[in-house]
C-alpha cells in the first residue's frame, strides 16, 4: 500500500465533500471548510511523518544516532561546543541543533516521540500559513504533498526546524515590520541550520512592486545567464554568503523542478495584473518565487543547493492558487484540473512515491 497516494486520495475526497456541502476551500470567517481541511491535512501528514520507521528518509537513521549521542552528552559539553564554534571560531557547525535535541530530551524519552515533535513543529505552522494566506487550501496542500513533503517531513530535521522558524514565523514578523525580531529568529535558526540566513533579504524585498518587465527579465535573461554560468555563480554565492556548495556534481540538475518553476513563472507573467488586482498580498508570493527562481541554477552545481531554494520556493503553495483564481470560473476549473492531474502524475513518477514507506511498528 502506498501511504502517500492513499493520503492524497483521502484529502481529495474530503475536499470534494466539503465543496459538495458548499464550503469553498479558502479562509472565510463565515466558512469553516478551509479550517477543517487544513486541520485534517495537518493531522494526516504529522502521522505519516512522525510514525514512520527510522529507515524511511535518507537522513532519519543518522539523526537517530545524533539524538542518542546528544542524550549521553552533558549540557556543559554542548554549551562549550557552542562557544567554541560561534565565539572561539573553532571548526564545526550548527551547534544549536544539539542544544535543541538536549532540551527536548527533558520531556521526550525516545526518538519516535522526537519524530512526532519535529513533524508538529513544521506542519502546524505550515498548515496555519496555508490557512491564513491560501486562495485554495486543497491546491496548496497538494503542491506541498508532491513538491515539499519528502524533503521537509522525511529527511533533514535541522532545516525543517529552521524553515518553520524563519519562513512561517518570520513572514509574520516581516508583515509586522519587526526587523529586530526577524534577525533574532534568523540568527537562532542559523545555529540549527546555517542556510536560514538566506531568508533575511526577503524583509527588504517582499513588497517590491513587481511588474511584468521584472519577471520577463528574470525568466528570459537573468535565469538563463545564471544557468550558463552556474559554476562561477555557485562560487560567488559560497564566497559572498558563506554557504557550503558541497562540491561539484557532474550529474547535478533538477530538471523536473526547474520545469515546474518556469511554468509557474510563465503563468504568473501572463496573469500578473489580475493576480495583483485580486489580492495585493500576492505581490509577496511573486517576489518570493522570483528569488527562488534566481537560486535554482545553484542546483545545477549540486542538488543539495535545493536546501537554499526551498526557503523561497515553498511560497508556491500560495502563488499557484492565486494563478488559478485569476481565471474566470469555467477557465479556472480547467486550469485547476490540469494542475491537479500534472501534480498527481509527477507524484506517481517520483521515486519517493514508489511505496518505500513503513510505520515504526511494521518492521
Q: Which cell numbers in the block locate residue 188?
A: 537562532
Q: What cell numbers appear for 1 in the block?
A: 500500500
286 and 362 part of one domain: no
Residues 43 and 133 in one domain: yes
Domain count, the chain: 2
Q: Note whether residue 174 is domain-resident.
A: no
Asked if residue 237 and residue 123 are part of one domain, the reply reads no
Question: Tell me: the pLDDT tens digits for 6-17?
Answer: 888 898 888 888
Angular region, 57: left φ>0, alpha ψ -120 to 50, beta rest: left
The answer on pLDDT for 353 being more than 50 is no
Q: CA-based angle 246:250:253, to the nearest 5?
A: 80
User: CA 66, 69, 71, 73 torsion: positive or negative?
Assistant: negative
For residues 26 and 135, membership in a common domain is answered with: yes
Residue 238 lies in a domain: yes
266 within some domain:
yes
Asked if residue 343 belongs to a domain, the reply is no
Q: Give the per-residue pLDDT at 218.
A: 97
Residue 332 belongs to a domain = no
Residue 109 confidence (pLDDT): 84
Whether 233 and 319 map to the same domain: the answer is: yes
Nearest of 171, 135, 137 to residue 41 by alpha carbon? 137
What are 319's three cell numbers?
502563488
Residues 312 and 359 in one domain: no
Average pLDDT of span 287-294: 97
Whether 98 and 232 map to the same domain: the answer is no
- Is residue 221 assigned to a domain? yes
> Do 318 and 359 have their domain in common?
no
Task: Let me know if residue 359 belongs to a domain.
Answer: yes
pLDDT in tens, 12-46: 888 888 877 666 666 554 467 888 899 999 999 99
Same domain for 294 and 148: no
Please determine, for residue 247, whether its predicted confidence score (pLDDT) is greater than 50.
Answer: yes
- In this structure, is residue 342 part of a structural domain? no
pLDDT tens profile 190-231: 999 989 999 999 999 999 999 999 999 999 999 999 999 988
248-289 pLDDT tens trace: 554 455 788 898 899 999 999 999 999 999 999 999 999 999
CB 170 within 8 A of CB 206: no
- Domain holding 270, by residue range, is 201-326
In a shared domain, residues 150 and 205: no
Residues 260, 218, single domain; the answer is yes
Report in angstroms the alpha-carbon separations of 7 from 1, 10, 11, 142, 326.
11, 5, 6, 10, 28
Query: Do 2 and 146 fall within a single domain?
Result: yes
Amino acid at each position: 500500500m502506498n501511504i502517500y497516494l492513499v493520503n492524497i486520495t483521502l484529502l481529495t475526497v474530503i475536499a470534494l465533500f466539503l465543496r459538495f456541502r458548499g464550503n469553498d476551500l479558502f479562509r472565510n470567517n463565515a466558512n469553516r471548510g478551509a479550517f477543517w481541511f487544513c486541520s485534517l491535512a495537518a493531522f494526516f501528514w504529522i502521522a505519516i511523518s512522525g510514525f514512520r520507521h527510522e529507515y524511511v528518509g535518507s537522513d532519519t537513521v543518522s539523526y537517530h544516532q545524533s539524538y542518542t549521542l546528544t542524550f549521553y552528552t552533558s549540557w556543559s559539553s554542548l554549551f562549550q561546543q557552542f562557544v567554541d564554534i560561534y565565539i572561539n571560531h573553532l571548526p564545526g557547525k550548527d551547534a544549536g541543533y544539539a542544544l535543541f535535541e538536549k532540551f527536548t530530551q527533558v520531556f521526550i524519552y525516545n526518538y519516535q516521540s522526537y519524530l512526532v515533535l519535529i513533524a508538529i513543529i513544521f506542519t502546524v505552522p505550515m498548515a496555519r500559513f496555508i490557512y491564513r494566506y491560501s486562495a485554495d487550501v486543497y491546491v496548496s496542500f497538494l503542491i506541498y504533498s508532491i513538491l515539499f513533503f519528502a524533503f521537509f517531513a522525511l529527511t533533514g530535521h535541522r532545516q525543517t526546524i529552521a524553515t518553520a522558524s524563519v519562513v512561517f514565523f518570520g513572514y509574520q514578523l516581516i508583515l509586522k515590520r519587526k526587523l529586530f525580531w526577524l534577525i533574532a529568529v534568523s540568527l537562532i535558526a542559523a545555529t540549527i541550520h546555517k542556510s536560514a540566513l538566506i531568508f533575511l533579504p526577503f524583509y527588504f524585498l517582499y513588497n517590491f512592486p513587481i511588474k511584468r518587465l521584472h519577471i520577463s527579465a528574470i525568466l528570459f535573461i537573468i535565469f538563463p545567464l545564471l544557468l550558463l554560468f552556474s559554476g562561477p555563480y555557485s562560487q560567488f554565492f559560497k564566497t559572498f554568503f558563506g554557504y557550503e556548495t558541497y562540491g561539484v556534481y557532474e550529474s547535478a540538475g533538477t530538471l523536473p523542478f526547474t520545469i515546474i518553476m518556469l511554468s509557474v513563472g510563465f503563468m504568473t507573467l501572463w496573469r500578473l495584473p489580475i493576480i495583483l488586482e485580486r489580492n495585493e498580498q500576492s505581490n509577496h508570493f511573486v517576489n518570493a518565487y522570483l528569488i527562488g527562481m534566481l537560486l535554482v541554477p545553484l542546483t545545477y552545481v549540486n542538488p543539495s543547493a535545493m536546501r537554499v531554494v526551498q526557503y523561497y520556493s515553498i511560497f508556491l503553495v500560495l502563488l499557484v492558487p492565486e494563478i488559478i483564481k485569476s481565471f474566470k470560473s469555467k477557465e479556472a476549473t480547467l486550469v485547476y484540473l490540469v494542475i491537479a492531474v500534472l501534480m498527481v502524475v509527477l507524484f506517481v513518477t517520483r521515486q519517493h512515491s514508489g511505496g518505500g514507506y513503513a510505520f515504526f511498528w511494521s518492521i
